[in-house]
Amino acid sequence: MATTFNYCFLISLAFSLMNINHAIGQNSDAMKKTQATNKTVKIYTQDEADVKATIEQFLIVAGNYNLDAMANMMSDKASLAIARLRDGKWTTETMLISEYFEAAKNRTNRPYFEPVKEYTIHLSDGHLAFVKADAVLHAFGVPLLNNIDYFTLIKENEVWKFINISFTSTRIPEAERIYDPIVFAKSYAQAWCSQNPDFVALFYAEDGSLNINNGTPAVGRTAITQSAKAFMDAFPDDMIVAFDKLVKTPKGTEFHWTLTGTNTGPNGTGKKVNISGFELWQLDETGLIKESKGTFDAEEYSRQIKYGSDN
C-alpha cells in the first residue's frame, strides 16, 4: 500500500507541476500580450492630443497648399528650416514662413499626402510643445520621401500656433515606391477638402471621366474640375469629404465617402449637410482614375440643403 501511495503521490505531484507550468505559461503569454498592447497604445494628455490634432490639420492644409489656412496656424515671424539629402549630398535652407508662402504663390503646386507613422511629443509647462513626427510623403498613392518633421508650437490665447517647422527629407528608392490604393483614396479625399478643384482633377487620367448619379459625364480634367468646383462653391467654408472605406468588387473599386459641410455658397440656405455615397472606379495602369461613377441619395441631399441634416 505504501508503494501504491507513493506512486499516486508522484503522479499527482507531476500533474500539479504541469498545471502550475501551464498557468505560468498562460500568465506569461498574457503579460507578453499586455506588454505588446502597452507598446502600441499611446494615451495622450489633453494638451498632447490638441497638439497632435493641430499638426495633423496642418499636414492636411499643407498637402492641399491652402496657404491662407496655413498662415492662420502660424505665430508671428514663424520660421522654416529644411535639410534635404539628394544624390548623396545634404543641402540646407532656412527662411521665414512668410517667405515660403510668397514663393509658393508663384509656382505650380501639386497635392501631396503626408501621414505620420509615429509622434514624439514633449510639453513644457503646457505652453511650449516640441514634436518629432516620422512621416512619409506620398503623391497620388506612391511614397516619395521619408520626412522627419520637427515642430515647435506655442500656446497663444489657448490656441496652439507654430513658431518653427523643420524637417529632413530623403528620397525613397525607386524599388520601394509601391502604389498603395488606400493611400491614393485618402489623398483623393484630402483633395476634395482643398477648395482647389484642379487638385481633384489631377487624380484622374487626362481623358478620365466623372459621372454623378447617372448624369452627363464630365470627360477630361477641365470638365472634372468644373464638377468638383460646383460642390466646393456650395460649401466654401467647411466642406469635408471623409474617406470611409475602399471595396474591391467584380465591377471595379468602390470609394466610399461622407461629405459634411454648411451650404453657405451662392444662393445657399446656411443648412448643414451630412451625406454619404460612393464612387465606382476603373483605374488605369498608373493607378489614376480612368472612370468614376458616383452615387448618392440626391433626394436626401436636396432635403438636407433645404432643412439641414439635423431635421
**Does residue 31 fall inside a structural domain?**
no
The reply to whether 169 and 206 lie within a common domain is no
What total number of domains does the chain contain? 2
The reply to whether 108 and 187 lie within a common domain is no
The reply to whether 187 and 290 lie within a common domain is yes
The reply to whether 168 and 55 lie within a common domain is yes
The reply to whether 169 and 191 lie within a common domain is no
The reply to whether 164 and 53 lie within a common domain is yes
**Does residue 200 fall inside a structural domain?**
yes
The reply to whether 267 and 219 lie within a common domain is yes
The reply to whether 202 and 155 lie within a common domain is no
Per-residue model confidence as pLDDT tens digits over 145-192: 999 999 999 999 999 999 999 999 999 999 999 999 999 999 999 999
Q: Where in the sequence is the domain holding 168, given as residue range(s)?
A: 46-176
CA–CA separation, 179 and 187 (whole Å) = 12
Q: Using the 3D structure, point to which of 176, 198, 231 is the last residue of a domain.
A: 176
**Does residue 72 fall inside a structural domain?**
yes
Tracing cell 499638426 back to the chain, one arrives at 55
Query: What are 232-235's contacts with CB under 8 Å, separation 24+?
Result: 232/195, 232/197, 233/265, 233/266, 234/261, 234/263, 234/265, 234/268, 235/259, 235/261, 235/262, 235/263, 235/264, 235/265, 235/273
What's the confidence (pLDDT) of residue 39?
53
Whether the predicted pLDDT of 11 surpasses 80 = no
Q: Which residues contact 213 (CB under 8 A, 6 or more apart)?
A: 294, 295, 296, 298
Residue 68 CB-density burial (10 A; 0-12 exposed, 13-18 middle, 19+ buried) = exposed
Whether the predicted pLDDT of 17 surpasses 70 = no
Q: Using the 3D structure, point to which of 176, 198, 222 is the last residue of a domain.
A: 176
CA–CA separation, 258 and 241 (whole Å) = 6
The reply to whether 186 and 301 lie within a common domain is yes
SS3 state of residue 279: strand
Mean pLDDT of the chain: 90
CATH assignment at residue 283 = 3.10.450.50
Per-residue model confidence as pLDDT tens digits over 107-147: 999 999 999 999 999 999 999 999 999 999 999 999 999 99
Q: Using the 3D structure, point to which of 156, 176, 196 is the last residue of a domain.
A: 176
Cβ contact 62:32 at 8 Å: no
The reply to whether 167 and 64 lie within a common domain is yes
Lowest-confidence region among 38-47, 153-162, 287-296: 38-47
The reply to whether 254 and 160 lie within a common domain is no
